[in-house]
Amino acid sequence: MSIRFRLLLSFTSVVIVSVILFTAAAYLLSVAVTGDFRSISSFYRIHYSLNPLSEEEESIFLDLKYLAKHDPAQLKDNKLLEKYDNQLKMVQAGLIVRLEHEIIYASPALQSADLATLLPTYEMNNNSIRNTMNLGSRFYSYAKFDFLFSTDSAEKGSVYVTKERSPFAEMVRKLLPILIGVFLAILLLTSVLLYRYVTRKIVKPLDELRRSAEHIKNGDLTFQLHPHSHDEVGQLLMSFEDMRQKLLESVQLQLHYEDNRKQLLSNISHDLRTPITTIKGYAEGIRDGVTNTKEKLDRYVDAIHVRASDLERLVDELLYYSKLDMNKEPYSFQQLELNGFLRHSLEEMSIELDQGKIDVTWSNERNELAYVLADREKLKRVIINLVDNCLKYMIQEPKKIEVGISMRTEDCLVWISDNGPGIHPDSLPHIFERFYREEPSRSRSAGGNGLGLAIAKHIIEGHGGQIWAESSHGNGTTIFFVLKKFVDHR
């Protein structure tokens, strides 16, 4: 059973139950007003339309009607009228006798100066002998009979048997059908509008959600859901849209990883082929007897050793990067004073710096101790990779490296700057990618394998920090990284 049909069924049930309850309430109201427990139909039929009098009152009325037809002169006899009036008083009813435009007899409770003008006009055909009327501020039901007192004089007369009723009961009698009709119309209109509203707010979004699920089933993640409300259905659509975006990002990331994997295999193949080809060439020269002197043999052996060392270093760095990338390289954090650590790390590289004739300068803005929480060995590898990257690309004299620390509110900023040729703006966003080199040919003339900066980025981010580069082509390069300050919570 569809949700739309269930909603229609539920609204129909609400209408039916409401009508039943309203009918029951109307019946109880009529009972409360009239004291009649028989039914609403008897409320209309007996009390106000066909028989406004009780059986006792109706019997007396028939007697008076008989006299009016056969001996109307007796209706001028006050003693006889008082007798009938006393009988009517026993059942809380009243009597009125009219002669032309004068009242010749009226029960004491009905006597008033303008009673004659309030009575209905004569209707000698007596088509409507039972009805209701207002006498002043009071409301009465009555049975009347119009007659002639004498055929000779043609004097018209009327006899009334009245019963005081509640004016509220008459109002209910007249307005109840209208109220029931208005109530049903409002109920039906409200149900239709509510059904359309619920259909628009629930069924249509769910139908949109179903179509979206079919898109996903067919592999289409490019569509978009647009929630139009913040209720539960709108939140469901927003959650589904978030899921779609996450799936799309996951697929795009998977495709990106696949492209990276292909690029990685291509880069590894290229970087491995060069030293292997060189080693193979020198080994074939030795086998073919090209090295006919000791000096030439030593030179070939040294070249093979150098290429084998490069190959070993490439494999080691590739393995290390792979461990970092898969989060399989554990960190051992400890409190570290950054100034002393940087100086000690550069002192260990003093031989390479002296051989390259590099002038190292220091900059500490506040000249104060800077404590961070770091893995000593991994952070040392970052410094070595960054300085080694400077050494590879500085070609103009004098060669300078500046190392600086800036203490900030919550972290420490470290930078290593050189006066090398700088990096082209198009290449700058990619220098931290694995195997990336600025020269498209991936020439090894400058050394390196394109993993140094990628490893440095992994390590700094593993410390919860950030690393970036600033450079202008021809004016050197500065590598910045940020480490959080050490906070002792003891």
CATH assignment at residue 415? 3.30.565.10
End-to-end Cα distance, the chain: 65
Q: Is 384 part of a structural domain of the chain? A: yes
Q: Is 40 part of a structural domain of the chain? A: no
Q: Is 176 part of a structural domain of the chain? A: no
Per-residue pLDDT of 77-121, as tens digits, reads 889 999 999 998 888 889 999 998 888 999 888 887 688 888 888
Tokens of 352: 């390479």
Alpha carbon 310 to chain centroid distance? Answer: 58
Tokens of 241: 């849209």
Question: Do residues 238 and 353 share a domain?
Answer: no
Alpha carbon 447 to chain centroid distance? Answer: 56
Question: Do residues 335 and 480 share a domain?
Answer: yes
Question: Do residues 390 and 469 share a domain?
Answer: yes
In this predicted model, which residue has the larger pLDDT, 145 or 307?
145
Alpha-carbon distance 275 to 282, whole Å?
11
Q: Tell me the mean pLDDT in the region 252-273.
A: 74
> Which pLDDT score is estimated for 184?
78
CATH assignment at residue 108? 3.30.450
Which secondary-structure segment (H or E) carries 356?
none
Alpha-carbon distance 140 to 142, whole Å?
6
Range 463-468 contact pairs with CB under 8 angstroms and sequence separation of 24 or more: 463/331, 463/333, 463/373, 463/374, 463/375, 463/379, 465/411, 467/432
Closest CA to 372 of 241, 299, 460, 295: 460
Place of tokens 């009607």: 65
Q: Are 450 and 432 in contact (CB under 8 A)?
A: no
Q: φ, ψ for residue 331 (rounded to 5)?
A: -105, 140
Q: Picking from 31-45, 119-133, 281-295, 303-317, which range would have the lowest pLDDT averaged per residue?
A: 31-45
Q: Tell me the mean pLDDT in the region 191-204.
A: 75
Question: Do residues 459 and 339 share a domain?
Answer: yes
**Cis amide leading into 205 (omega within 30):** no
Q: Are 416 and 390 in contact (CB under 8 A)?
A: yes
Q: Picking from 34-48, 214-228, 323-337, which range would have the lowest pLDDT averaged per residue?
A: 34-48
Alpha carbon 260 to chain centroid distance? Answer: 37
pLDDT of residue 47 exceeding 50, the answer is no
Question: Do residues 357 and 479 share a domain?
Answer: yes
Ranges of beta strands (E only) in 419-462 are none
pTM value is: 0.47
- Total domains present in the chain: 3
Q: Is 15 part of a structural domain of the chain? A: no
pLDDT of residue 447 exceeding 60, the answer is no
Buried b (16+ CB within 10 A) or exposed e, 77-113: eeeebeebbebbeeeebbbbbbbeeebebbbeebeee
Domain that holds residue 419: 330-484
Question: Do residues 270 and 344 share a domain?
Answer: no
Q: Are 61 and 161 in contact (CB under 8 A)?
A: yes
Q: Tell me the mean pLDDT in the region 254-270.
A: 73
Tokens of 337: 């004073």
Q: Is 471 part of a structural domain of the chain? A: yes
C-alpha distance from residue 136 to each of 85, 96, 117, 164 (Å) = 21, 15, 11, 12
Question: Do residues 313 and 354 share a domain?
Answer: no
Question: Do residues 478 and 348 share a domain?
Answer: yes
Alpha-carbon distance 433 to 450, whole Å?
8
Tokens of 482: 């940020």
Question: Do residues 460 and 358 share a domain?
Answer: yes
Tokens of 89: 């008083």
CATH assignment at residue 284? 1.10.287.130
Q: Is 361 part of a structural domain of the chain? A: yes
Q: Are 379 and 341 in contact (CB under 8 A)?
A: yes
Q: φ, ψ for residue 472 (rounded to 5)?
A: -125, 135
The DSSP symbol for 121 reads: P
Closest CA to 213 of 232, 239, 195, 189: 239
Q: Is 157 part of a structural domain of the chain? A: yes
What is the DSSP track for 403-428? EEEEE-SSEEEEEEEE-S----TTTG
Q: Is 215 part of a structural domain of the chain? A: no
* Signed CA dihedral, 73, 78, 83, 88: sign only: positive
Return the half-sphere exposure (C-beta side, CA atoms, 13 A cut-off) of residue 331.
Answer: 18
In this predicted model, which residue has the larger pLDDT, 70 or 310?
70
Alpha-carbon distance 216 to 214, whole Å?
5
